[in-house]
Amino acid sequence: MPTQLSQKIAEKRAIVGIIGLGYVGLPLAKAFIEGGFHILGFDVDQRKIDQLQAGQSYIGHLKSEWISECIKNEWLQVTSDMGRLGEPDAILICVPTPLTASRDPDLSYVESTAHQIAARLRPGQLVVLESTTYPGTTRDVMLPILAAGGLKCGEDFYLAYSPEREDPGNPDFSAGRIPKVVGGYDAISAQLAEQLYQCAVSEVVPVSSCEVAEACKVLENTYRAVNIALVNELKKVFDRLGIDVWEVIDAAKTKPFGFQAFYPGPGLGGHCIPIDPFYLSWIARKHDVPTRFIELAGEVNASMPDYVVERVALALNDARKAVNGSKICILGIAYKRDVDDPRESPSFRIMELLAARGAVISYSDPHVPRLPRMRHHRLPSMTSCNLTEDYLAAQDCVVVVTDHAAFDYALIAAHSGLVVDTRNAMGGLPIAQATIVKA
């Protein structure tokens, strides 16, 4: 069976199934289609399936024309029918792994998906988990569910882990151009997974086990989270000292060795960086190992929306206004610049905190025309506002949360009364009417 699957992969006759057609799964499908494979995509969200079948993209950097062409030529088939999970030769799992309210790992999507696969698992299939998780998930959570029906891993089916690596909106690093770390449950599983990904990505990085591949992912994002927490804390210190943290970073990064620039902001966003460190600290606690450094970094980053709101309140106070009743526009809902991905965006928490203080909230984001419903946030239905001169003049405060290139910052500075800038987006602008406060 491994020889048969290997031959199918080599001849590009293997059907690749991808579960979860979001910001990770759909770009991954593109990489495999460009590698010559046919994709059977699964998603429980029927709206996504309907849009894709109609040739419409819901991800900004994937064009509808490409989706339409793939559907028309049957390079991409999509379905919400999990009964078809027996059809693919390889199944790649790209489902969410959020945190619970107590910041423990929520593997319900992974476990549910594993049960659905197990119900249709047939000899010869390769299953690869891509969802971010803690070391041990593939072996301790996925494997028992898949093997419950009597099939043996390494003989009847194959299991591996390959962490998702996606940078939405980055034109230099699409899914196919990012090296892929792959760790198998056993040697045969590892070989088959490596062979499969070699057909779709620029480089495959094999490691000795699923656990090493899982740990690699949490290391990458914990590294970023900790360094961002450092500059976020330094921002608060330097603000109190009357020092511009952005100027400090610009000076420090001229050092050609031993320093990598990280930048402060209103809080962490995206699916991975705000979440991965807590997966690592959770599994460490299970093994009686304290992770005070990582947990402190998480606390610092999680506190930044509160810090932004306090800066807004102080800025309004200096203008002899209260937060209660003030009209406040949030610039940017997406979690990062020039993308349409709102997952874990600090904008939601900032809006909730300001609304709780009685502010009249609106927002503008050219990439997010309608405020999406988020799992942990409760905000009223809103649509993006156009940044006209009259609209800006009517606001008591404009808060730059996401520094999209599409925003006309000169216009904002010229017609706003007060701007609280969390991204240094207004730096370097000529003298403007607005009072600009860095936060």
Q: Domain map of the chain by residue range?
A: 2-208, 218-301, 304-438
Sheet holding 327-331, edge to edge: 360-364, 327-331, 397-400, 418-421, 435-438
Is pLDDT at 404 greater than 80 in this prediction?
Answer: yes
Lowest-confidence range among 27-36, 95-104, 146-155?
Answer: 95-104
User: Which residue has 């028309």 as its token pair?
Assistant: 72
Q: Quote the longest CA-to-CA distance of the chain.
A: 75
Across the range 345-363, mean pLDDT stands at 96
Tell me, what's the pLDDT at 190?
98
pLDDT value at position 377?
79
**Whether 193 contacts 16, CB under 8 Å:** no
Percent of the chain with pLDDT over 90: 85
The pLDDT, as a whole number, for residue 112 is 97
- C-alpha of 67 from chain center: 21
272 catalytic, yes or no? yes
Please tell me the distance from the alpha carbon of residue 230 to that of residue 263, in angstroms, as a whole number: 9
For residue 147, give every residue at least 6 positions away whose Cβ sits within 8 Å of its Cβ, in sequence order, or none: 153
Tell me the mean pLDDT in the region 166-174: 79
Lowest mean pLDDT, pick from 33-47, 221-235, 242-256, 424-438: 424-438
- Report the range out of 291-295, 328-332, 413-417 with the highest average pLDDT: 328-332
Q: Which CATH number fits domain 218-301: 1.10.1040.10, 1.20.1260.10, 3.30.9.10, 3.30.43.10?
A: 1.10.1040.10
**pLDDT of res. 432:** 67
Phi-psi region of 105 (alpha: psi -120 to 50; beta: other; left: phi over 0): beta
Looking at the predicted structure, is the pLDDT value of residue 273 above 90? no
Tens of pLDDT along 380-399?
A: 999 999 999 999 999 999 99
For 9-18, 372-381, 388-397, which range has the lowest pLDDT when averaged over its residues? 372-381
136: amino acid identity, one letter: G
At 434 the pLDDT is: 79
pLDDT at 5: 96
Q: Do domains 2-208 and 304-438 have the same CATH topology?
A: yes
Burial of 245 (0-12, 13-18, 19+ CB in 10 A): buried
Q: What is the model's pLDDT at position 374?
A: 78
Is a pLDDT exceeding 80 seen at residue 307?
Answer: yes
| SS3 (DSSP) at 17 | strand
Tell me how far apart the alpha carbons of residues 413 and 278 are, in angstroms, rounded to a whole number. 39
Going through 289-349 in order, the beta strands assigned E by DSSP cover 327-331
Separation between Cα atoms, residue 389 and residue 387, nearest integer Å: 7
d(CA 294, CA 226): 7
Count of residues in the chain: 439
Joined tokens for residue 429: 């602008």
Q: Express as a percent the part of the chain with pLDDT over 70.
A: 99
Q: Which of 70, 153, 210, 272 is catalytic?
A: 272
Q: How confident is the model at residue 337 (pLDDT cuts 50, 70, 90)?
A: very high
- Kindly report the pTM of this predicted structure: 0.91
Average pLDDT over residues 12-16: 97
CATH topology of domain 304-438: Rossmann fold (3.40.50)
| Top-level class of domain 2-208 | alpha beta
Question: What is the Cα–Cα distance from 131 to 275, expressed in whole angstroms?
Answer: 12
- The stretch 225-233 carries a mean pLDDT of 96
- What pLDDT, on the 0 to 100 scale, is given for residue 67? 97
Distance CA 185, CA 154 (A): 8
- In 175-286, which residue ranges form alpha helices assigned H by DSSP? 187-198, 210-241, 245-252, 276-286
Q: Residue type for 194, please?
A: E
Of 37-41, 102-106, 113-117, where does mean pLDDT reach its minimum? 102-106
Check residue 86 and give its pLDDT.
97
Q: Residues 342-362: what's their mean pLDDT?
A: 95
Gap between the Cα atoms of 241 and 239, Å rounded:
5
CB neighbours of residue 321 within 10 Å: 17
Checking if the pLDDT of 304 tops 80, the result is: yes
Residue 86: CB atoms within 10 Å? 14
Is residue 431 over pLDDT 80?
Answer: no
Q: Are strands 38-42 and 15-19 parallel, antiparallel or unpaired?
A: parallel
pLDDT (0 to 100) of residue 76: 97
Question: Tell me, what's the pLDDT at 314?
Answer: 97
258: alpha, beta or left? (left if phi > 0; alpha if psi -120 to 50): left
